[in-house]
Amino acid sequence: MAKSIFISNTDTFDVVVNYKDDGKRLKVVPEEEKNEKGEITSKKITVSFKYPDFSTSQKILRSATTPDSNGAPSLNFLQLQTSLIYALASKWDVVGEDGKAVELNSENISKLRVEIAKELISEVYKELGDGGLI
């Protein structure tokens, strides 16, 4: 059955980030890692993202557009990356050190380690592809 021309709340995709602590820093790994006993040694988080509709796409681009030194509109790619996560993330399975679910909100997103955020952004770009944002 063909997809509707309208975006709905069920139009989502998941991004899985596998990572491990190498003793010095957190390291993103391409897939789940196991030791010689077959025990999983890496951890993972899954974040669900909404596909952007036209309005959301415009809001993301508007929030990432700033005037350049001549006053002309210029796209701020760092702000674009931040806006993508804030605007499109809809749920995640992050659990805190206390074993409780961590709420998905802008404060907690802003506390993500850079390695995790970079991987999320990279995977969102891959999923949306060229023209994913107008």
How would DSSP label each residue in 65-125?
Answer: EEE-TTS-EEE-HHHHHHHHHHHHEEEE--B-TTSSBPP-SHHHHHTS-HHHHHHHHHHHH
Q: Give tens-digit pLDDT for 12-26.
A: 999 999 999 888 888
Q: Report d(CA 50, CA 82) in Å as an integer.
A: 15
Sheet of 43-50: strand order equals: 26-29, 12-21, 43-50, 89-92
Residue type, 38: G
Residue 24 located in a structural domain: yes
Q: How many domains does the chain have?
A: 1
Give the whole-number percent of the chain exceeding pLDDT 90: 68
**Average pLDDT for 95-105:** 94
92 and 46 Cβ atoms separated by less than 8 Å = yes
Residue 102 located in a structural domain: yes
Residue 42 located in a structural domain: yes
Q: Is this model's pTM higher than 0.85 or not?
A: yes
Return the structure tokens found at 20.
Answer: 């491990």
Q: Give tens-digit pLDDT for 38-82.
A: 888 899 999 999 999 999 999 999 999 999 899 999 999 888 988
Domain that holds residue 77: 12-128
Q: Report d(CA 40, CA 34) in Å as an integer.
A: 4
Residue 3 located in a structural domain: no
Residue 75 located in a structural domain: yes
The CB density around residue 33, as the number of other CB atoms within 10 Å, is 14
